Structure 1
C-alpha cells in the first residue's frame, strides 16, 4: 500500500518529465516562439517615404568628348639676316601685336656700309654706261663716213652693252643690301599674341633661327577626341559647350571634322572654334558636349537612383508596401532628372528620396510625391 509520501514523489516525477518534454520540443522547433511573437506584433515601425513614377521630360541629345585647347594657327617668326647681333627686343610672351609691328632689331652698321658702297658702285657703273653709250653713238653716226673702222665701231657697241650689264649688276647688289638692311628689323606677319620668345639681346643668330611664336589672330580652338561611332552625328556649325579645367564653361562652334581616324584609339578629332577671352589658354585640358537637339525621355528624380556595386538601382515599393530593390539602366541627366532606359514600368512606384536608408523587404508607409 502506497503512502502519501510515495504519491508526492510520483507527482513531482511527472511534473519534471513534462518540463523536460517542453524543453525538448522547444529545442526541436526554435522558431516557434518568434513566429508567435511576430504574429502577435505584426508590422511594427513603417518609415514614411515619398514615391515617384516615371515621368516624361524633354532632354538634350549630347555627345560628350575630351580634348586639349590649342592655337588655331601658330606662326614661327625667325630672322633672315645672317650673322647680325640682336640689339633690341620690344615684345614679350603674352603681348598682343598688330601686323607690321616692330618686334626686334639687329645692329645694322655693317649692312648700312655695304649699302652705301653698293650705291657708289651703281653711280660709277651709271657714269661708265653714259660714256660707253656716247662712244657707241658716235660710232654709229660715223659708220658710213669711213672715219672709223668697222672693228672700232663694234668695240664701242660692245663696251656699251658691257657697261649696261655692269650697271644692272651694281643695282642688284644695291637691292640685296637694301633687303639686308630691311631684315635687320623683325616685324609681326599678322595680328596675334606672342606665345613664345627665344630672342635674346646680344645674341648673334644665323638666318632662319626662330625668335618668336605667334598665335595668329589670338584664335584658339578645342581639339576634341570623338568616338568614331559618334562622328556621323556631328555637323559643322553645331553648338558645343566646353568646360576647361579650373575655368568657366564657354560655348563654341564646331568648325570641321578630321578626315581620318586614329588607328589606335579609334577616335577622330573635331575642331571647335572658341570665343575670344582671357580665361582660356593653349595647352589646357577641357571636357565638352556637342549639342544635337532634344528628345523626350522617361525620367526620375536623381535622388531616387542609387549606385551600388557599380550598377544603378532604385527602391521599388511593392503592392504590400514592402521595398524591392530593382536594377535599372540610366541615360542622360538634366538638372535634377535622370533618364531611365530600362528596368522599370510606368506604373511602378519608387522611393524618391532617402532610398539609401532602405533595404529589401523593409515595410514603408507611402506618401505620393506632389503632382503624381
Structure 2
C-alpha cells in the first residue's frame, strides 16, 4: 500500500516537463517565412527585384529627348565587309614638313634651334650675315637721305608757289620727285625684310644680319647648318616636321583600289600595334611599279609624333565581300557609336514597345570591328530597332539617375 503513493509522485514529476513542452507546441504561432527580419525588409527585397527588372530602362522627359537628339535604326543582317591588310608609308602633308633656309648667301653666326626642339611658326632658328643684305641696307640709307631732301624741296616749292615766285609746273615736279624717292625707299625696305633683315635706322645699324624663321610649327627633325659655315641661298639649314600632319600612302592591287572610294574610313596600324584612324583622300588612277599596284592616300585624322615620315605601317581596309584577297560573311552589324562600353561589357539601347521615350539597355556580345561598324554576335535579332545616335546622352542620363538612387 506504500508503493502507490510513491509511484504516483514519480509520475507527476515526469509529467511536468512534458506538459510544458506540449504547452509550447500549442502556443507556437503560425510559421512566417520572414520571421526575425527587420521591419520593412520584405519591402526592400521587393524593391530590389523591381529595380533589377527595370533598372536598365530609362524614361526621358520630352526636353531630355529633344536634347539627346536620339535616332534609331532597324537591325539587319547583311554581308560583313571583308578586311584587307596592305603595306603603307607615312609621308608629310603639303604643310606638314618644311626645309628651312635663308634666301640669300651668308655666313652662319648663330644657331637658335636644336634637333628635337618644338618650335612655333615664325620662330627664329638661325642668324646669318649676308653681304647682299648689308649692301641693300646701305642703299636704303642713301635713298632715305634723298627722301628727306626731296621732302624739304617740296615744302620750299609750295611756299614759293604760294607767293607766285615759281610756276605750278615746278611745284608738280617737286611733288613727283618726293613721291618717287619715297617709293624707292619703300621698295628697298621691303626687299630687306623679305630676306629676313632689319631696315636700318642709321649707318650703325647696317649689319647685313638675316634672321631665318620656320614657316610652320613643328619639331626640328634635322639640323644641317654648322656655326661659321658659309651657306648659299635656299640651302636647307633645318628640317621641321609638324607632328600629326601626315598621310599614309598605301599600295593596293587594282581590284582592291576599285572597291575603295574617296572618304572611305580605314585603320592605320603602327609598328608598335597602336592604331590610328584614316580617311581616303584619293585613289591613284595609274598602276605603277613592278608590283603593279595603285596608290591610295589616306589622311591620318588622329596622328601623333609616333607616325614620323618614312615610317612603314599597315593599313586595314574594309571592302565588299568577293574582292580579291578578302573573305566576307553575313552578320549583324551596328555603328560603333551605338555601343555603350562599360569595362569589358558592351551594351546597346533599344526602344521599349508601348512606352514613350523609354529605352532599355541590353547587353550584347561583340564580334569583329569593320571600319565604323561592329559585329553583334549575340543580344540582337534582325528586325529589332536600336539607338544609333544619342547613346552618349542616354548613358549620361542613366548615370545621373543611378547617382540619385544611391543618394536616397
Normalising by structure 1, we get a TM-score of 0.52
SS class of match (1:202):
coil
User: Which position in structure 2 is the counterpart of 1:202?
Assistant: 228
User: Which position in structure 2 is the counterpart of 1:255?
Assistant: 280
CA 1:177 to 1:281, structure 2 compared with 1: closer, same or farther past 3 Å? closer
Shift of 1:154: 4.6
CA 1:263 to 1:109, structure 2 compared with 1: closer, same or farther past 3 Å? closer
Which of the numbers 176, 189, 202 marks the counterpart of 1:161? 176
1:57-72 paired onto structure 2 within 5 Å: 61-72=82-93
1:76 matches 2:99:
yes
Shift of 1:198: 1.9
Distance 1:156 1:238 in 2: 71
Distance 2:91 2:177 in 1: 58
SS class of match (1:286):
strand
**Coordinate RMSD, CA, aligned:** 3.8
CA 1:286 to 1:173, structure 2 compared with 1: closer, same or farther past 3 Å? closer
User: Which position in structure 1 is the counterpart of 2:41?
Assistant: none
Aligned residues: 236
CA 1:250 to 1:160, structure 2 compared with 1: closer, same or farther past 3 Å? closer
User: Which position in structure 1 is the counterpart of 2:67?
Assistant: none
Shift of 1:237: 4.2
Distance 2:330 2:173 in 1: 94
CA 1:166 to 1:92, structure 2 compared with 1: closer, same or farther past 3 Å? same
Distance 1:280 1:260 in 2: 26
Distance 2:298 2:191 in 1: 44
Shift of 1:209: 1.8
Shift of 1:224: 0.6
Shift of 1:78: 2.1
Distance 1:239 1:228 in 2: 18
The Cα offsets for residues 7-46 of structure 1, whole Å up to 9 and x where unpaired, read as: xxxxxxxxxxxxxxxxxxxxxxxxxxxxxxxxxxxxxxxx
1:290 matches 2:323:
no
The answer to whether the 8 A contact 1:236-1:253 is kept is: no
CA 1:284 to 1:140, structure 2 compared with 1: closer, same or farther past 3 Å? same
Unmatched segments (≥5 aa) in structure 2: 1-78, 199-208, 322-327, 332-367, 369-408
The Cα offsets for residues 153-200 of structure 1, whole Å up to 9 and x where unpaired, read as: 755653553344234323433443444415811222122233333222
SS class of match (2:109):
strand
Distance 1:142 1:292 in 2: 89
Instruction: Name which one, 1 or 2, has greater alpha-carbon Rg.
Output: 1
**Greater strand share, 1 or 2?**
1
